[in-house]
Chains A and B, each alone.
Chain A
C-alpha cells in the first residue's frame, strides 16, 4: 500500500549528482586549456575505476547494482579525487586513490550516505602520506605538452625538476621558511600570477562559476561557501594586515590551491558534512581555519583536506548542538538531541 503524499517533486539523487558534475565542467575546461589536457585522461581513468569499484562493491554487498551505479555518486567522488590531485600523477596512483575512496571510505562504511568522512579527502590524504613526492609534482601552466603529460600519466620516466615547478603555496612556504624572503619577493617568482598560482587562477574562476550555478540550482546552500571563504579571508586578512611581509593576502589564499574547489564542491559534500544551518557555518568555518593554520604553520603546503577530515569528526557534535528550534518552540534553548 502506498501512502500520501501521492505527488513527488521530479528530483532524484541522480539529478543532484548530475548537476554537481555539470557544475564541475567550467573548472575542468579551464584546467584542460590552461594547465594541459592531462586532467581529462586522469578523469577518464578515475571514472572508470570508480564505476567498476562501485559496481563490484554493490555486487558483493548484494545490493541492486544498476540503480545505485546510475546515481552518479561514484563519478562525483572520482572527479573530485582527480581534481584535487596533480594532473600528471601516474595512472596507478589515481586508481589506488579512487579505490580507497570508493571501497574503503564509502562502501565499507555502508555505502552512499553512510560514510562519516569525505571519500575524496581521505583519498587525498592517504596518497599524500603514502606518495608525498608524486603528490607534489604540479606542472606549471602551459609548460608541458599533452604528449608529455600522457606519458607521465602512463608511468613514463619522471625528470622531476624538468617537468614540475613548485606550486604557489609551496613556493610561498619554502620562500618564507628560508627566512630570507618576504611575501612580496616570493610572489615575484615564476609560479605566481596576478592572484595566486599562475594559470590556476582561471581554474579557480571556473570552479566559482560552477559553484554559483549550484547555488542557483539550490543544490547547495550559501552557508558553507560563505563561511569557508569568509573565515579564510578574515583570518588571513587579519594576519596580513598585521604582518604583510610574513603572511600572504586573503586574495592569494582564496585563489591558490584548492580553495575554490573546496568552497563549492568539497566542503559542501552533504553526506559527511554538518546539516543544520548553524552547523554548516561552523563546519565550513572550521575547515577554513584549519586549512589556513596548516598552510602557514603546518608540514603540508595545502591543509584543506586535513581540515575537512578533522571537521568531519566533529559533525555529529555540531549537528547535535546546533539543532534549529522547532516551530513554536521559540524559547527552547536547544532543539532536539539534548
Chain B
C-alpha cells in the first residue's frame, strides 16, 4: 500500500519534471498565434473591426478581446478560416462592423482634387501620391480598398470603384452540382 503510493508519487514527480523541462526546452518563441491570425486577415488595414489595423485586431483576437466575425473585407471565408484556426464555431459577420463588399479600389477624380493631402495621411499603406496643392492619385496596385481616404476628403472627390474582372483575374466557376435535378 505504502509502496504503491510511493511508486505513484515517484512517477508523478518524474513526469512532472519531464513536462516542466519540455516546456522550457521546447518553448515556442514569440506568439505564433497572432502571426497565424494576421496571415488570415486581408491586410486592408481598414479598421472596420474597431482596431487600428489588421495586426492589432489579430492581437485582440488572440487575447480574446475581439470576436472573429468583425472583418468585413475578409468575408465569410475569412471568418471560416479563423474559426478553423482557433477551433471556434463559425458565425456570420457581425453587422455593426459592416458588410462584405466586392473588392474595390479608391479612385481620385483628379479634376476635383484640391491637393489637400488629407487622403494621403489617411491611407494606411501609403498608396496615394501627391503633395500639398498638387493633384493626388491612387497607385492602383497598392490600394487595399479600405475606404479610409473617402471620409477625410473635403471635396468628396474619392470614389470606391469595384475592381473589374479581367482575363487574367477571371476565375472558373465552381461546377454546378446537378444531383438534385432530374428524377
Instruction: Answer yes or no: do A and B interact.
Output: yes
Decide yes or no whether A130 CB sits under 8 A from chain B: no
In Å, the complex CA distance between A64 and B179 comes to 7
Residues of A within 8 A of B173 (CB): 1
B182 CB contacts on chain A under 8 angstroms:
64, 66-67
A-B contact count (CB 8 A): 14
Binding site for B on A (CB under 8 A): 1, 3, 63-67
B25 contacts the other chain (CB 8 A) = no
7 A–B contacts, CB within 8 A, in A order? A3-B172, A63-B180, A64-B180, A64-B181, A64-B183, A65-B183, A66-B182
- Return chain A residues, CB-CB under 8 Å to B181: 64
Of the candidates B173, B179, B182, B183, the one having the most CB atoms from chain A within 10 angstroms of its own CB is B183
In Å, the complex CA distance between A255 and B135 comes to 91
Determine which of A1, A3, A63, A66 lies in contact with B179 in the assembled complex, contact meaning CB atoms within 8 Å. A63
Chain A interface main SS type: loop
4 closest pairs, A vs B, by CB?
A66-B183, A64-B183, A67-B182, A64-B182
Please name all residues of chain A whose beta carbon is closer than 8 Å to the beta carbon of B180 when the two chains form the complex.
63-64
Chain B residue at smallest Cβ distance from A64: B183
Q: What CA separation (Å) do A64 and B181 show in the bound complex? A: 7
Q: How far is the CB of B2 from chain A (nearest CB, A)?
A: 45
Q: Which residue of A lies closest to B172 (CB)?
A: A3
Known interface pairs A66-B182, A67-B182, A67-B183; 11 further A-B residue pairs with C-beta atoms within 8 A, sorted by A's residue number = A1-B173, A3-B172, A63-B179, A63-B180, A64-B179, A64-B180, A64-B181, A64-B182, A64-B183, A65-B183, A66-B183
Instruction: Write the nearest CB–CB distance from A137 to chain B, whole angstroms.
Output: 42
Q: How far is the CA of A65 from the CA of B180 in the complex (A)?
A: 10
Distance in angstroms between the alpha carbons of A65 and B179 in the assembled complex: 10
Residues of A within 8 A of B183 (CB): 64-67
Question: Chain A residue with minimal CB distance to B180?
Answer: A64
Bound Cα distance from A67 to B183, whole angstroms: 5
- Chain B hits for A65, CB < 8 A: 183
A66 partner residues in chain B, CB cutoff 8 A: 182-183
8 A Cβ contacts from B60-101 to A: none
List residues of B (160-183) whose CB comes within 8 Å of A's CBs: 172-173, 179-183
Q: How far is the CA of A1 from the CA of B172 in the complex (A)?
A: 11
Closest residue on chain A to residue B181 by CB atoms: A64
When chains A and B are docked, how far (Å) is the Cα of A64 from the Cα of B177?
A: 13
- For residue A1, give the distance in angstroms from its CB to the closest CB of chain B: 8
Minimum CB–CB distance from A8 to chain B (whole Å) comes to 14
Q: Which residues of B contact A63 (CB under 8 A)?
A: 179-180
Among A1, A3, A64: residue with most chain B CB under 10 A:
A64
Task: Give the distance in Å from the alpha carbon of A67 to the alpha carbon of B179 in the complex.
Answer: 9
Residues in B neighbouring A1, C-beta threshold 8 A: 173
What's the nearest-Cβ distance from chain B to residue A12, in Å? 13
Write the nearest CB–CB distance from B170 to chain A, whole angstroms.
13
Residues of A near B179 (CB, < 8 A) are: 63-64
Distance of A65 Cα from B183 Cα, bound (Å): 6
